[in-house]
Structure 1
């Protein structure tokens, strides 16, 4: 569940880094960014996560039956969605106020098809006004969820450039896993059975969207295969998924039980199917997981993953369903 970045081999006097750690720089730490820059970067990184995750979530409902849900396909926040320390910054830097504003529209979702845009302000779902203020995000999610029941489309009223408009949004079936951003410089990815967290450090280590898709697909597979809740992982996700995290280092991940080689292989084989069904390439995944995985893919296990890739490629050439045998 925690991805480890390869580091130089330890000398006899060096101690191994904890799982998920990145070797510290010999240079002094750079100055911390101001709050506005920190918040904008956080929002942009979260947007990248949702963009890369979108095809994985939308195209794999057959493989995630316990997680499959109908959804509209967007996220929305107001100034109170952030901690008290960042509420004023959210208003000044992002122009967020008491009403919820759309932050991300899931590519390929019904929300995108209906024309919902980032920056739209939510006012009502069907005829139900959406709340404002400190509890707006949670309360609105509850109202929207109740309106989805038994419907194929939902009317969402928004304000855009001073004009009020109602969009008829078709529901999208997707793997309803929350993709969270972790406020930590070490490279790690976590899955608690429902949510996925990718740290800022992991985003830095995966500059290409293809590499980030390898990470997300692996954690999706772990959620799909999870047989029980993972409260220790959930607690760590809660701790890291905030801009208020204080000096998080890789040692906090050491309390998480390591993934067995067998469980890791099972998840990665499933992840290859998730990637292929989402339109991502699979050929580079084994080498990536060999470098970044926890546990890393062993040389002896590479043929198994390559055989799985060959099976997937054959299914694609035959236009057969890309499903595990």
Structure 2
């Protein structure tokens, strides 16, 4: 696999064992090896209190908005990843069901933002908890500080993410329950966190307003623009499931576009992405209609098994194609143009799912 640069990130939603600090062994980093120092703080001559510059304020607002979107994706994606582990087959892994970050997960003025908005310091803190995971069931909370795992003290400071991965990765893969010590409300608390079996795909929010989503075989990205277009959690689930299905079916490798799409994902998770990279088709070729229809079919089963309704799928995809047709470059339909063919596959799959639900048969494609 080609090693890509993942520096200068907001810190994507690491849901999968193959891609996250806390879900398995990984060399994922959301910051440079040597972190940048915090930005200079302007102070007044008469007071020692720091003055928040316009740049710092903007960074804080941007970080807060992106973290909110990431939390929403994490919540929507949880049932899709956990309830479909058997459909992901060899791409399912054991995961701990949470991500953690500290102030060094961000760079430049975002170090200040992480401290001011998220209260991050040197210690790793739980950033997100996967809905439906063992971590969620035992009450692990956002903001819990990571103290120890199986009596091994967890690292702090600039290299904490990488070092913690070396400790937690093997524990997740070899144990059914992890004995975790967290700091909460000024005291340490012991939790027994059950390991969760789930689809091993990392979910990212894309820092871009184009209406699109991407799957490179390992990851799924849905852009800010697509989230805003989808509006409802159910519609977001349709998009996420579609790209999870593309990954399960190996379509990025089949079309030989894994590297191209991966580069786009790397770019759009950046704090300040290079939007010029999105001019035209951005080098992404249209998905063959038979592969698209296969992903549609599998994704609808995943949606139903996750507890979402499949009834609105046709209307959502048709609305997207109508408002952003293939002539809108860098939009979803531009790279998934076979709308009529896809809708026929969606209609058939929805009917099959309804029949199986009525007959109380297993929801298996």
TM-score, length-scaled by structure 2: 0.77
CA, structure 1 residues 161+178, in 2 after alignment: closer, same or farther (shift >3 Å)?
A: same
Question: 2-side partners of 1:154 and 1:121: how far apart?
Answer: 16
1:319 pairs with 2:343: no
Matched with 2:69 is 45
How far off is 1:298 after superposition?
3.1
1:60 pairs with 2:84: yes
Task: Mark the runs of 5 or more structure 2 residues left unpaired by the alignment.
Answer: 1-53, 321-331
- How is 1:293-308 mapped onto 2 (pairs within 5 angstroms)? 293-294=332-333, 295-299=336-340, 301-308=342-349
Matched with 1:207 is 231
**Which one of the candidate residues 308, 321, 335 is aligned to 1:280?**
308
**Which one of the candidate residues 185, 190, 212 is aligned to 1:161?**
185
Matched with 1:122 is 146
Contact 2:103–2:111 (8 Å) recurs in 1: yes
Count residues with an aligned counterpart.
294
What RMSD, in angstroms, separates the aligned Cα atoms of the two structures?
1.9
1:97 pairs with 2:121: yes
Matched with 2:250 is 226
**Which one of the candidate residues 267, 277, 302 is aligned to 1:239?**
267
1:196 pairs with 2:220: yes
1:270 pairs with 2:294: no
The range that moved more, 48-57 or 254-263, is 254-263
TM-score, length-scaled by structure 1: 0.86
Contact 1:190–1:198 (8 Å) recurs in 2: yes
How far off is 1:271 after superposition?
0.6
**Which one of the candidate residues 156, 159, 172 is aligned to 1:132?**
156
1:183 pairs with 2:183: no
How far off is 1:290 after superposition?
2.8
Matched with 1:14 is none
Aligned to 2:140, the other structure's residue is in SS state coil
Question: 1-side partners of 2:188 and 2:116: how far apart?
Answer: 24
Which deviations, in whole Å up to 9, do the C-alpha atoms of 1:229-266 show, x marking residues without a partner?
A: 71111111111112232445741752112211111111
**Which one of the candidate residues 319, 322, 330 is aligned to 1:291?**
319
